[in-house]
Chain A
Amino acid sequence: DGGITQSPKYLFRKEGQNVTLSCEQNLNHDAMYWYRQDPGQGLRLIYYSQIVNDFQKGDIAEGYSVSREKKESFPLTVTSAQKNPTAFYLCASSTPEGTGGSGYTFGSGTRLTVV
């Protein structure tokens, strides 16, 4: 079955450490996205990529980095520069014109906790 896989489901990080969240899709979608969700805040866009080897900053990119070396993969690194990294992170994908058609397909999320 096609879909998006995020791993791990839960992640604990010590302050000052970088961590990388994995996102893999087998939907053959060109576009991929990372959102952060906090209680009462809704989804906020971190980074997005519409094609391999290209990505753009979203609304809250500071303290995060991404890469898009393969169409299927869009990993997110939460760096030590991110001041409040504890949150629920969601990865999504879509066809380029498909944001208007079939919507986004989301992964099941990674809950990151800084300890």
Chain B
Amino acid sequence: SQKIEQNSEALNIQEGKTATLTCNYTNYSPAYLQWYRQDPGRGPVFLLLIRENEKEKRKERLKVTFDTTLKQSLFHITASQPADSATYLCALEGYSTLTFGKGTMLLVSP
């Protein structure tokens, strides 16, 4: 069955550093992958999409890579700020819907 893995342990980093989150998947050949941000008690918010034929995508301080051979996506936040603290979810295209990973919590300390 399809499986998406994100690091369940929270990632703690200092303000100004680059945060890197990982999303691994198995038994998938998705045409694209998406990343979302979720704050406590709120719905997820769409951040970025990367297609299978794209190796890298950037949006402001965010960068996503997609390696279909390794079946892995990396999500980077450069110059991180305390306001970036949240849970980040990756999601893969399934049969007409998205399947979400469990998310990784990011904590950025001043």
Contact = CB atoms under 8 A, between A and B. Distances in A.
Nearest to B44: A106
Q: For the complex, would chain B's binding face be called helix, strand, loop or mixed by DSSP majority?
A: strand
A111 B40 CA distance: 12
Interface stretch (B57-65, B73-81, B99-107): B99-107
Q: For the complex, would chain A's binding face be called helix, strand, loop or mixed by DSSP majority?
A: strand
Interface residues on A, range: 20 to 34
Given A100-B32, A102-B46, A109-B42, A58 B97 contact: yes
B46 A41 contact: no
B43 A99 contact: no
Interface string A92-113: 1000000111111111110100
The 7 nearest A-B residue pairs measured at CB:
A106-B43, A103-B46, A42-B102, A43-B100, A106-B44, A100-B32, A90-B43
A64 interface: no
30 contacts: A33-B97, A41-B102, A42-B100, A42-B103, A43-B44, A43-B89, A45-B99, A48-B97, A56-B96, A88-B41, A90-B43, A99-B93, A99-B97, A99-B98, A100-B31, A100-B32, A100-B49, A100-B51, A101-B49, A103-B34, A103-B36, A103-B46, A103-B49, A104-B44, A104-B91, A105-B46, A106-B43, A106-B45, A107-B43, A111-B41
A50 interface: yes
